[in-house]
Amino acid sequence: MTTAEVYATTDTPLGNGAFAHDGRLIVSHHPMYATDVRVSIFRPDGGLEPFPNLAWNTPRKGDEDWLDAVLGLRNDEQGRVWLMDMGTRSGITPKLVIWNTRTDRLERVIPLPPHAVDRHSEPNDFVIDPVRNLVFIADEGAGDGGDGSTGALIVLDLATGEARRRLQGRPGIASEAHGLHVEGREVTRLAPDGRRQALRVGADGIALDAAREWLYVSPLNGFGLWRLRVEDLIDPALDDDALAPRLERYADKPNSGGMCFDPAGNLYMTEIEGNAVGRISAVDRSYSRVFEREDLFWPDGIMLGPDGAIYVVVTQLPRSPVLSPGGGDEAVRPFKVFRFRP
């Protein structure tokens, strides 16, 4: 076991994280808490302010150039932060927003084409392949009462804005049938028909190795980590029936959320039922816990920071109004971001 420190705290619910060019931490606020501000950045005094500004966090009619339901965030070496807006709170078009933190300017908004999503889409986490000029998006298939069975991968071409939906509902991409259990109960949510249903989430964690050869993916409800050669995924000659057998079960793992690699090729992931962070060894593919603690309650976002440390964002998601048995915000303040050395 390693030692983790509390890096930041806030009373505002959290989701995922990324870094501005100056090292400041940017955080999404999980849509299940329905916060007024969707994305924030930590100020030097430890407080939060809207990111990239208040206007982008303010819903309005007449256009969709604002942030509605953001969870997945990434930063790149050019000082840009990429924000995946699922659009699920207000029913607007899902889109990828790219904001340059060096110039404090919008670089691009890329709507996801209608054929790349469906009724239950929740395009959440993603990875950027700057060499191929592609983005690979994990669609959880858990929106609008979805049970994760329509989880899919979305391949977005940054040059054209075109996208392909791949491997929908296939093993390793769709949710598995077993439930999620925390605090002595199965995690459930209110279904569109008013009944409570077990939470089932498809493709959630996603990571690209340093050589950009393999794409790793896992459903949140899933005991396996899977991988697929990027060249196979983007091969137009392979339809889903031909592609699915090439999806390889790489390692065993517990139910998990976010994932990231360290420089040695070990894959870290947030263990959502165990209040823990785990690691799959690059040497023998074995899973082991790195650290665990009671206040690491449903960790989600995990990312390598500019200082070489790994950061973990805690969501307390089963205590959100959508998932709590009482239907209210039952989270214990403050929300925390942890940091540890791989």
The predicted-structure confidence for 208-246, as pLDDT tens digits, reads as follows: 999 999 999 999 999 999 999 999 999 999 999 999 999
Separation between Cα atoms, residue 221 and residue 275, nearest integer Å: 16
* Other residues' Cβ atoms within 10 Å of the Cβ of residue 253: 21
Contact assessment for residue 35 and residue 27, using Cβ atoms and an 8 Å cutoff: no
Give the model confidence (pLDDT) of 240-272 as tens digits: 999 999 999 999 999 999 999 999 999 999 999
CA separation, residue 221 to residues 53, 256, 278 (Å): 35, 7, 16
Tokens of 157: 């071409």
* Predicted pLDDT at 117: 98
* Predicted pLDDT at 92: 98
* pLDDT band with cut points at 50, 70 and 90 for residue 90: very high
* Predicted pLDDT at 195: 87
* pLDDT band with cut points at 50, 70 and 90 for residue 8: very high
Q: Please, is 330 exposed, middle or buried when counting C-beta atoms within 10 Å of its C-beta (0-12, 13-18, 19+)?
A: middle
Q: Residue 175: what residue type?
A: S
* Predicted pLDDT at 203: 98
First to last CA, the chain: 11
CATH code for 17-275? Answer: 2.120.10.30
Please give the order of strands across the beta sheet that includes 310-314.
Answer: 5-10, 335-340, 310-314, 299-304
CA separation, residue 325 to residues 41, 99, 145, 148, 192 (Å): 31, 37, 17, 21, 16
pLDDT exceeding 70 applies to what percent of the chain? 100
Question: What residues pair up with 134 in beta bridges, in sequence order?
Answer: 129, 157
Q: Answer yes or no: is pLDDT of 187 > 90.
A: yes
* Predicted pLDDT at 1: 83
DSSP letter (8 states) at residue 65: -
Separation between Cα atoms, residue 215 and residue 182, nearest integer Å: 29
* Predicted pLDDT at 265: 98
* pLDDT band with cut points at 50, 70 and 90 for residue 321: very high
Helix (H) or strand (E) holding 242, with range, is helix 240-243
* Predicted pLDDT at 121: 98
* pLDDT band with cut points at 50, 70 and 90 for residue 102: very high
* Predicted pLDDT at 194: 82
* Predicted pLDDT at 191: 82
Q: Model pTM?
A: 0.98
Give the model confidence (pLDDT) of 119-153 as tens digits: 999 999 999 999 999 999 999 999 999 999 999 99
CA separation, residue 164 to residues 90, 147, 156, 239 (Å): 24, 22, 7, 11
CA separation, residue 174 to residues 31, 151, 167, 253, 308 (Å): 21, 5, 9, 16, 33
Separation between Cα atoms, residue 329 and residue 103, nearest integer Å: 37
Span 144-166, mean pLDDT? Answer: 97
Tokens of 339: 């940091």
* Predicted pLDDT at 192: 79
Q: Residue 181: what residue type?
A: H
Q: Could you tell me which of 309, 201, 337 has the C-alpha nearest to residue 256?
A: 201
